[in-house]
Amino acid sequence: MKKTFNPFLMAQEQFLKAAKKMNLDENIINILKEPQEALEVSIPIKTDSGKVKVFKGYRVHHNNARGPYKGGIRYHPNVTLEEVKALAMWMTWKCAVVGIPFGGAKGGVVCNPKQMSRREKEALTREYTRRMINFIGPLKDIPAPDVYTDSQVMAWIMDEYNKYTGNTTLGVVTGKPLAIGGSEGRHASTGKGLTVIVQEALKYLEMKPENTTAVIQGYGNLGHIAAEEMYKMGIKIIAVSDSKGGIYNPKGLNPLKVESFKQKTGSVVGFPDAKKITNEKLLQLKTDVLAPCALENVITSENASKIKAKIIAEGANGPTTPEAEKILLKKNVLIFPDILANAGGVVVSYFEWVQDMQGYFWELDEIHAKLDKIMTKAFWNVVDMAEKHKTDFRTAAYIFAIQKVAEAIEKRE
Ligand code: NDP
């Protein structure tokens, strides 16, 4: 029988593996292995047909020892409380790995935004915000976009929050449109950050981008930018995919052309000069870099032995299960974990929050230079930690992050 996937148990397993390796104090383990608080809400909205539909929404606060809680909001039919708890915990480590002063949170609503009108999505977002009004805030918990939420959703949240507080508080969410306090470079930040990690990984392995191939699963905000940035670096993108399937051309794809095709047709599937391929087969292609950039639980014990990539750069949160990781590590695959590889988004979210709080906005080149510096430093910190503890990069990144969070907890006592 197929094992049911529980992302929170997976997040706890990853945490406990690192905690054991670093001999973490038992009291700190007990504090950090559970979220501090979780809110579950029912969100009734009037649909376009006139019927009232009630959606389930969550927001989880994992830990705020290092600063206000921070984390995205996901709109997806498969959202569960366990998933949101895992994502919140990963945010705590992610902020600590890159050294930005936030804790970890996450939100989610069980819904299918692809089947909702703009008005219904707006009503859902505003009602979710009203139910979360005491749970979020610029010095408390700052949401951002995640799967199937975007800058428009953030604009509605900010507007609704401001109606309730009576102030214009830009810093209550990040990933906003530029016109209302968004930051230059936020949209592309996760993809750019992932590309910095791939660039440093190639240096680490003494590989040249022009002799490197990459496969990318997921062609949303993160996936398509990562494909474009890697392509600009000289890497050959041989396959990409979205929820409808994948496309493959061993001679290379032009990601900009693929993106404009997807904009027109709604999918990468059908792109000319490429072979159609399933998402499962795409993961098993012979490639140097594999970047899962869609959802969690895609590299599992069932397909790990068939994966031929040398490097896995985790764009998505939680794409590799611990069982799969064991198999891949035995095959000497280098896995750059989500909490490091996709941290570019929260780094520029931090920049956006700083700019909002100061009311002073920076130029794009300044954002890019600062992002590059932080991601590069984090990469080599993790490599040093892996060498020091003779361990894999995920455990090393966890040890680095847990040390920072544990230190913050101890200093507050
Ligand atoms: P988007 O909603 O913009 O894109 C999600 C992409 O995944 C879409 O292309 C979607 O396909 C595809 N997808 C959905 N289901 C499947 C499936 N079963 N198989 C293959 N592809 C699928 O989300 P983001 O790009 O923002 O997020 C992607 C991942 O990156 C998530 O794990 C998220 O948590 C993580 N992340 C995102 C950050 C950000 O700043 N956006 C920051 C850090 C992490 P389709 O286009 O057909 O809908």
* 369-379: pLDDT as tens digits: 999 999 999 99
User: Would you say the CB of residue 221 lies under 6 angstroms from ligand 1?
Assistant: yes
Tokens (6 digits) for 172: 């209550």
pLDDT at 1 exceeding the cut of 90: no
Contact between 315 and 292 under an 8 Å Cβ cutoff? The reply is yes
Q: Tell me, using a 6 A CB cutoff, whether residue 218 lines ligand 1.
A: yes
| Residue 106 annotated to the active site | yes
Distances (CA, A) of 230 to 112, 338, 356: 31, 17, 30
Distance 224 CA to ligand 1 centre (A): 10
Confidence of residue 2 (pLDDT cuts 50, 70, 90): low
pLDDT above 70: residue 121: yes
The Cα 112–Cα 148 span in angstroms is 9
Which pLDDT score, from 0 to 100, does residue 4 have?
80
Strands across the sheet with 213-217, in order? 275-277, 245-248, 236-242, 213-217, 289-292, 311-313, 334-336
Check: CB of residue 222 under 8 Å from CB of residue 240.
no
What's the pLDDT tens digit per position in 222-272?
Answer: 999 999 999 999 999 999 999 999 999 999 999 999 999 999 999 999 999
What digits encode the pLDDT tens for the residues 33-73?
A: 999 999 999 999 999 999 999 999 999 999 999 999 999 99
3-class SS of residue 176: coil
CA of 223 to the centre of ligand 1 (A): 7
| 299 Cβ below 6 A of ligand 1 | no
Q: With a 6 A CB cut-off, is 199 part of the ligand 1 pocket?
A: no
Q: Does ligand 1 lie within 6 Å of residue 297's CB atom?
A: no
Ligand 1 mean position, distance from CA 164 (Å):
31
Q: For ligand 1, say whether the CB of 7 is within 6 Å of any of its atoms.
A: no
For the cut 70, the answer to whether the pLDDT of residue 217 exceeds it is yes
pLDDT at 83 over 70: yes
In this structure, the residue with its CA closest to atom 17 of ligand 1 is: 243
* Closest atom of ligand 1 relative to the 114 alpha carbon: 48
Give the tens place of pLDDT for each residue, 329-339: 999 999 999 99
Please tell me the distance between residue 92's alpha carbon and the centre of ligand 1 in angstroms. 20
Band (pLDDT 50/70/90 cuts) for residue 134 is very high
Q: Tell me which of 106, 176, 236, 262 is the catalytic residue.
A: 106
For residue 291, the surrounding DSSP H or E stretch is: strand 289-292
For a mutational test of ligand 1's pocket, the pick from 10, 242, 290, i.e. the residue with the most ligand atoms closer than 8 A to its C-beta, is: 242
For helices 364-389 and 344-358, give the axis angle rounded to 10 degrees. Answer: 130
Which tokens belong to 224? 């398509």
Kindly report the protein residue whose alpha carbon is nearest to atom 48 of ligand 1.
243
Cα separation of 305 and 302, whole Å?
Answer: 7
Question: What is the mean pLDDT of the segment spanning 90-118?
Answer: 98
Q: What is the pTM of this model?
A: 0.96
Instruction: Write down the mean pLDDT value for the chain.
Output: 97
Confidence of residue 152 (pLDDT cuts 50, 70, 90): very high
CA of 254 to the centre of ligand 1 (A): 20
Buried b (16+ CB within 10 A) or exposed e, 108-130: bbbbebeebeeebbbbbbbbbbe
12 and 5 Cβ atoms separated by less than 8 Å:
no
Letter for the amino acid at 219?
A: Y
Report the separation in Å between the CA atom of 220 and the middle of ligand 1, taken as the mean of its atom positions.
5
Is the Cβ atom of 127 under 6 angstroms away from ligand 1?
A: no
* Tokens 């397909």 belong to residue: 303
pLDDT digits (tens, 9 = 90+) for 154-202: 999 999 999 999 999 999 999 999 999 999 999 999 999 999 999 999 9
